[in-house]
Amino acid sequence: MPVIKEAKHLIVPVFIPHQGCPFKCIYCSQDKITDQYVPASASHIKNILDISLESPRFSSAETKEVAFYGGTFTNLSPAKMKDMLGAVAPYLQKGLFNSIRVSTRPDSIDGDRLDLMKSYGVNTVELGVQSMDDNVLALSKRGHTSGDVVNAVDILRRYGFRVGIQLMPGLPGDSETVFKKTIDRVIGLKPDMTRLYPVIVIRGTELASMYNSGGYTPLTLDEAVKICGDSCLRLEDNNIPVIRIGLMSSPSLLSGREILAGPWHSAFGFLVRSYIHHLRIDPFLPRFAGHAFIGIRAPSREIPLVRGHRNNGVRILEEKSGAKIVSIKPDDTIPPGRIEVDELKQGARSKAQG
């Protein structure tokens, strides 16, 4: 069972694919994404939590949270909500977990269910917003509007919940320009956290039929990295954390059998973080008119971001600088988000290569 770690905050996910959903969105195949094909039950939930207690990360985490993902939690019957939350309650009472979070639709919020969730220790609600453009929402058959999002955030705030917003760049009718406007509106809502999930085309969905008939063109990997990277920068510059970029890697997704098209990559989040890091270090990268050899020094923790996935970052830096990079070395005297560049003489270059 995967365990999600945010700094020293541990999230143990319980997936409830399609449960409570009033219908199926054109892109959605939660069972294939999570590799869970049976409804979650109280015994299933308890088994997940018991396994998580044995995780090496569990004891070192400062706070631990149970999260119900997938489905529409606040559209479940009150009895089903009590059954699921009640399975977690003993773990909260013993202090093994600190809180619960749930995900739901923006148009499925009502006071009675919020009161019920509060009584069981839920303190965070993540909204499956996907877009703040009403045309994109209609084309994706989401069944809610951007106005529903604004209303849901307001209600959740009044009830004292922390609010998360999940977004999906690349839906039908979306574009880089349209998604920038979505980010503008999300920044205005000031959620406590966000997630970015670029759209992939999964076999058996309505979106797959649109793709096969030529009615939908997914983002390329490079386009998705740029859109998510630029969006992440803007959100985090406005003190809105981006806690997840790209779908979690399930066996179905890793096998590639269920993915028809789209910007799927098992290390997508790292690609985006490396892209962002390269934007930040670009002002410190000199340009060379002639043939040159350089060494780069960076904080040790940032060396992987400088190198990029499979050293693709090295190629990018060489193209930008016009120089051959001979070495990338750790130097923790350099402030985070910066690099130092040393132009190497012929002898130093030969020594570094040797």
Number of domains within the chain: 2
> Does residue 276 belong to any structural domain of this protein?
no
Closest to 305 measured CA to CA, from 266, 336, 262, 264: 336
* Contacts for 80 with CB less than 8 Å, ≥ 6 apart: 19, 20
> Does residue 128 belong to any structural domain of this protein?
yes
* Residue 99 shares a structural domain with residue 245: yes
* Residue 231 shares a structural domain with residue 327: no
> Does residue 229 belong to any structural domain of this protein?
yes
Take residue 167 and report the two structure tokens written for it.
């977004």
Closest to 129 measured CA to CA, from 12, 25, 272, 223: 25
8 Å CB contact between 40 and 69: no
8 Å CB contact between 100 and 66: yes
* Residue 70 shares a structural domain with residue 211: yes
Take residue 117 and report the two structure tokens written for it.
């969730």
8 Å CB contact between 109 and 148: no
Concatenated DSSP letters of 74-113? GGS-HHHHHHHHHHHHHHHHTTS--EEEEEE-TT---HHH
CA distance 292 to 326: 10
Could you tell me the strand order of the sheet in which 340-343 lies? 324-330, 293-298, 340-343
Question: Block means of pLDDT (10 residues each) for the chain, length 354 residues?
Answer: 56 88 81 60 92 89 92 93 96 96 95 96 97 97 96 97 98 98 98 97 93 97 98 97 87 76 94 97 92 94 96 96 95 96 68 37
CA distance 10 to 23: 31
8 Å CB contact between 10 and 4: yes
> Does residue 208 belong to any structural domain of this protein?
yes
* Tokens 């990029």, residue located: 308
Q: What is the pLDDT of residue 71?
A: 86
Instruction: For residue 220, give the DSSP letter.
Output: P
Domain closes at, from 266, 300, 315:
266
In which domain, by residue range, is 170 found?
4-266
> Does residue 137 belong to any structural domain of this protein?
yes
* Residue 201 shares a structural domain with residue 346: no
Instruction: For residue 35, give the DSSP letter.
Output: T
Closest to 249 measured CA to CA, from 272, 273, 226, 265: 265
Strand partners, 244: 195
Take residue 13 and report the two structure tokens written for it.
């996910």
Length of the chain: 354
CA distance 80 to 148: 24
- The three-class DSSP label of residue 245 is strand
* Residue 112 shares a structural domain with residue 188: yes
> Does residue 275 belong to any structural domain of this protein?
no
CATH code for the domain in which residue 291 is found: 3.30.300
* Tokens 């054109």, residue located: 26
* Residue 239 shares a structural domain with residue 139: yes
* Residue 172 shares a structural domain with residue 209: yes
Q: What is the pLDDT of residue 30?
A: 65
Q: What is the pLDDT of residue 33?
A: 61
> Does residue 277 belong to any structural domain of this protein?
no
Q: What are phi and psi of 296, to 5 degrees?
A: -115, 135
CA distance 26 to 28: 6
* Residue 185 shares a structural domain with residue 311: no
* Residue 178 shares a structural domain with residue 213: yes
CATH code for the domain in which residue 213 is found: 3.20.20.70
Cα 15–Cα 20–Cα 22 angle in degrees, nearest 5: 130
8 Å CB contact between 63 and 8: yes
In 3-state terms the chain splits into helix, strand, coil percentages (rounded to 5) of: 45, 20, 35
> Does residue 273 belong to any structural domain of this protein?
no
* Residue 8 shares a structural domain with residue 139: yes
Take residue 125 and report the two structure tokens written for it.
């609600």
* Residue 224 shares a structural domain with residue 339: no
Q: Are strands 193-196 and 242-245 parallel, antiparallel or unpaired?
A: parallel
Q: What is the pLDDT of residue 326?
A: 95
* Residue 244 shares a structural domain with residue 292: no
CA distance 298 to 288: 20
